[in-house]
Amino acid sequence: MAEQADFAYLRAMASQEIEELSQALARLPGLGPRSARRAVLHLMKRRESALQPLLAALQRVADRLSTCSTCGNVDTSDPCSICRDPRRDEKSLCVVEEVADLWALDRSRLFPGAFHVLGGRLSALEGVRPEDLSIDRLVARVAAGGIDEVVLAMNATLEGQTTAHYLAERLERFPIRLTQLAHGLPVGGELDYLDEGTLAQALRARRPVD
């Protein structure tokens, strides 16, 4: 009840512009109407220290946003910061379903190699076929040579595992070590939602694809 009364108050008090900002923020993942309103109030009270820097940061990212043509990561440069990092071990390649998985693994700082984002997972139900994913590009990267190990870091879901099996078949003919995350991963678990300890454990205990 209190929530509803609060919302009605803001509706009546706020201009169209502020209402639109609240609604835009409320559509972001992890935010709802209530936290969106709080964020808007916070920004309005701190125009110099919060609103302007946020605006500038959003604008910079919006101007330079690009998808990495090598790995599929989303960044403000192409090649992305990870692909350009000379400290990365290019001999190991970690294949993930989504950019969020790449970021989750990269946050764990346990994988020193390069990444490849498929852009989804195979799904008969949703009609996602191999040609809908960045699989040919992955095969081309491996075929180009210089890669010793490919880690299939798919989610521990049925579709993730189907995708891993398909990739294992496509990569079979190359002289590489093919590994996958250990199944300390909870069944149905999605990488992005795992705590870093679990993720680190799964990566450390990765095993050959059978």
Nearer residue to Zn ion within complex by CB, 114 or 203: 114
How many residues line the site for Zn ion (CB under 5 A)? Answer: 7
Among the listed ranges 61-69, 117-125, 135-143, 188-196, the one in contact with Zn ion (CB under 5 A) is: 61-69
Nearer residue to Zn ion within complex by CB, 43 or 99: 99
Collapse the DSSP code of 30 into the 3-class scheme (helix H, G, I; strand E, B; otherwise coil) and give the result. Answer: coil
Among 83, 93, 117, 178, binds Zn ion (CB under 5 A): 83
Cis peptide before 33 (omega within 30 of 0): no
Among 80, 102, 104, 202, binds Zn ion (CB under 5 A): 80
Strand partners, 150: 93, 178
Among 22, 73, 92, 180, binds Zn ion (CB under 5 A): 73
Among 7, 50, 70, 134, binds Zn ion (CB under 5 A): 70
Nearer residue to Zn ion within complex by CB, 52 or 81: 81
Q: Distance between CA 30 and CA 24 in Å, rounded?
A: 13
Q: How far is the CB of 68 from Zn ion (least distance, A)?
A: 3
Collapse the DSSP code of 64 into the 3-class scheme (helix H, G, I; strand E, B; otherwise coil) and give the result. Answer: helix
Which of 94, 128, 84 has its CA nearest to residue 103?
94
Q: How far is the CB of 93 from Zn ion (least distance, A)?
A: 11
Nearer residue to Zn ion within complex by CB, 70 or 198: 70
Residue 128 backbone phi and psi in degrees, to 5 = -95, 115
Residue whose entry in the numeric block shows the structure tokens 């969020």: 100
Q: Does 96 bind Zn ion (CB under 5 A)?
A: no
- C-alpha 179 chain-centroid distance: 20
Q: Distance between CA 191 and CA 102 in Å, rounded?
A: 9
Q: Does 95 bind Zn ion (CB under 5 A)?
A: no
Q: Distance between CA 93 and CA 208 in Å, rounded?
A: 14
Q: Does 67 bind Zn ion (CB under 5 A)?
A: no
Binding residues for Zn ion (CB under 5 A): 68, 70-71, 73, 79-80, 83
